[in-house]
Amino acid sequence: MMKTKLMLLAGLTLLAGCGQNSDQVPNPSAAQEQAAEDAYSDLRDRKYDEFLSHLDPELKQYFQENQKTMRQFSYAIPEGEYKSKTLMVKKFEQSSGKPSEYKVSYEIAYPGNLVQYDVSFDKPNGSSTIQNFYIRVYGK
């Protein structure tokens, strides 16, 4: 467990080194934090319609067409309530010809498991609609 946690922290530290310094990027707004939390809970609880309501139309369409992928994410999340949730990395990327992306990464601790939950919005303090997300589970 500790080795996995250290590997995750090392990976997130490397991620933080890319692009804009994480300390210079604002924290997510209360609405963005709530959207990320609600989407995670809805996916964990297999409330797929509610989960889809938090997503950008393009991402929502993807999961409606690929429900097996959505279900794989939901079944990977450990059951029950987590012990702690920590904001680990936040970065804002802008480049010409592409929409801006505000990426936030959380470490969510369960007894025996650690979840890396990455969620993206349009910009800091911007829309609370989720543009992209990724979940990776470490542990048992």
Residue 20 forms part of a structural domain: no
Q: Is residue 21 part of a domain?
A: no
As a whole number of angstroms, the distance between CA 54 and CA 91 comes to 21
Find the DSSP H helices in 1-140.
2-17, 30-44, 48-52, 57-65, 67-76
| Burial category of 60 from C-beta neighbours within 10 Å (exposed 0-12, middle 13-18, buried 19 and up) | middle
What is the chain's Cα-based Rg? 15
Query: Residue 21 and residue 15: Cα distance in Å, rounded?
Result: 10
User: Does some domain include residue 19?
Assistant: no
Pairwise CA distance, residues 133 & 140, whole Å: 22
Q: Which two tokens stand for residue 117?
A: 């939950």
- What CATH number did the domain enclosing 114 receive? 3.10.450
Q: Is residue 58 part of a domain?
A: yes
Q: Which domain holds residue 6?
A: 2-13+26-139
Does the global pTM surpass 0.95?
A: no
Q: What total of structural domains would you count in the chain? A: 1
Residue 65: inside a domain: yes
Is residue 112 in some structural domain? yes
Please report, in tens digits, the pLDDT of each residue of the chain (140 residues total): 444 333 443 344 444 444 445 568 999 999 999 999 999 999 999 999 999 999 999 999 999 999 999 999 999 999 888 999 999 999 998 887 778 899 999 999 999 999 999 999 999 999 999 999 999 999 86
Residue 18, domain member (yes or no): no
